[in-house]
C-alpha cells in the first residue's frame, strides 16, 4: 500500500512539475504580497508579522490545494477510479500538498526574516507549530476541494467551506507562534500542542474515512 501511495505521489509530482505554473503562481502571490506589505508599512511589529504570516499561509493553502483536483477531467477521474483505491490516491494528494505547503512556509519565514531584518526567536517551537498546523489544514482542504470539485463554482465554494474549518487550527497556531516570538508568556505550550495534534488526527481520520464516499460518482 505504501509503495502504491509513493508511486502515485511520484507520478503526480511529475505531472505537477510539468504544469508548475499553478504552484509557482501561488508562490509568486506569496512573495508579491510580502514585498508590498513590507514596502508599504516599512517596519512591522512582531504581532502583525505573525498575523500576516498566518493569513498568507491560509490563502496560499487555499490556492495550492484547490488546484489539486481542478484540472482533473471527468475521464481522468474514471481512470483513477479503476486504477487505484480512493484512499491511496487521496493520501498521495495530501502528501504532495503537504510538501508544497512546507516549501511555501519555509519561503515565507525566510522572506519575513530578510525584510524584517531579525530572525524568529524560537525557531524550533515555531517550526513544530507550523508543521502540525499544515498537517490539519491540508487534510481539511483536500477533503473540501474533493467535495467541491463536483460543483460548478469550485473556487468560491472552497473558500467558503474551508475557512470556518481552518479557524480553530489558525487560532491555536497563532497563539503558539505568539508564544514562540516571546510576545505572550504561557506555561501551557504542551497543552496547546496536544490540542493541535488532536485536531490533526480528527481531520486526517475524517479525510481517510469520508473520501471513498465522495468518490463514488
Contact positions vs other proteins (CB under 8 A): 143, 147-148, 150-153, 157, 160-161, 163-165, 167-168, 171-172, 188, 191-192, 195, 198-199, 202, 206, 210, 213-214, 216-217
Closer residue to other proteins (CB): 114 or 209:
209
**Do 71 and 154 meet the contact criterion of CB atoms below 8 Å apart?**
no
CA distance 47 to 184: 10
Cβ proximity to other proteins, 116 vs 178, nearer residue: 178
Nearer to other proteins, 161 or 178 (CB): 161
Cβ 56 vs Cβ 108: under 8 Å = yes
Q: Shortest gap between Cβ of 94 and other proteins (angstroms)?
A: 15
The DSSP call for residue 126 is H
Nearest approach, Cβ of 206 to other proteins (angstroms)? Answer: 6
Query: What's the CA gap between 51 and 175, in Å, rounded?
Result: 10
- In this complex, which beta carbon is closest to other proteins, that of residue 28 or of residue 160? 160
Q: Could you tell me where the beta strands, DSSP code E, fall in 65-120?
A: none
Cell triple for 16: 505537477
With respect to other proteins, which residue has the nearer C-beta, 37 or 163?
Answer: 163
Q: What gap in Å lies between CA 149 and CA 146, rounded to an integer?
A: 5
d(CA 157, CA 116): 35
Four-residue CA torsion sign, 108, 38, 56, 174: positive
How near is the Cβ of 184 to other proteins at its closest, in Å?
12
Shortest distance in whole angstroms from residue 112 CB to other proteins: 27
Neighbour tally for 27: CB within 10 Å: 19
Separation between Cα atoms, residue 61 and residue 69, nearest integer Å: 14
Q: How many residues are recorded in the chain? A: 217
* C-beta closer to other proteins: residue 88 or 200: 200
What is the smallest separation between the CB atom of 150 and other proteins, expressed in angstroms? 5
Least distance (Å) between residue 190 CB and other proteins: 12
Amino acid at each position: 500500500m505504501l509503495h502504491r501511495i509513493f508511486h502515485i505521489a511520484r507520478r503526480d509530482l511529475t505531472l505537477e512539475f510539468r504544469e508548475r505554473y499553478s504552484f509557482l503562481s501561488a508562490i509568486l502571490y506569496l512573495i508579491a504580497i510580502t514585498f508590498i506589505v513590507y514596502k508599504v508599512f516599512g517596519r512591522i511589529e512582531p504581532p502583525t508579522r505573525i498575523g500576516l504570516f498566518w493569513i498568507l499561509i491560509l490563502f496560499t493553502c487555499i490556492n495550492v490545494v484547490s488546484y489539486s483536483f481542478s484540472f482533473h477531467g471527468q475521464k481522468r477521474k474514471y481512470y483513477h477510479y479503476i486504477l487505484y483505491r480512493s484512499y491511496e490516491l487521496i493520501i498521495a494528494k495530501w502528501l504532495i500538498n503537504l510538501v508544497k505547503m512546507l516549501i511555501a512556509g519555509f519561503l515565507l519565514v525566510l522572506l519575513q526574516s530578510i525584510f524584517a531584518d531579525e530572525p524568529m526567536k524560537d525557531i524550533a517551537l515555531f517550526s513544530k507549530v507550523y508543521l502540525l498546523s499544515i498537517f490539519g489544514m491540508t487534510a481539511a482542504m483536500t477533503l473540501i476541494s474533493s467535495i467541491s470539485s463536483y460543483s460548478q463554482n469550485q473556487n468560491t465554494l472552497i473558500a467558503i467551506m474551508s475557512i470556518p474549518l481552518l479557524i480553530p487550527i489558525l487560532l491555536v497556531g497563532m497563539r503558539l507562534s505568539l508564544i514562540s516570538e516571546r510576545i505572550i508568556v504561557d506555561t501551557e505550550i504542551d497543552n496547546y500542542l496536544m490540542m493541535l495534534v488532536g485536531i490533526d488526527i480528527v481531520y486526517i481520520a475524517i479525510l481517510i474515512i469520508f473520501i471513498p464516499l465522495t468518490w463514488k460518482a
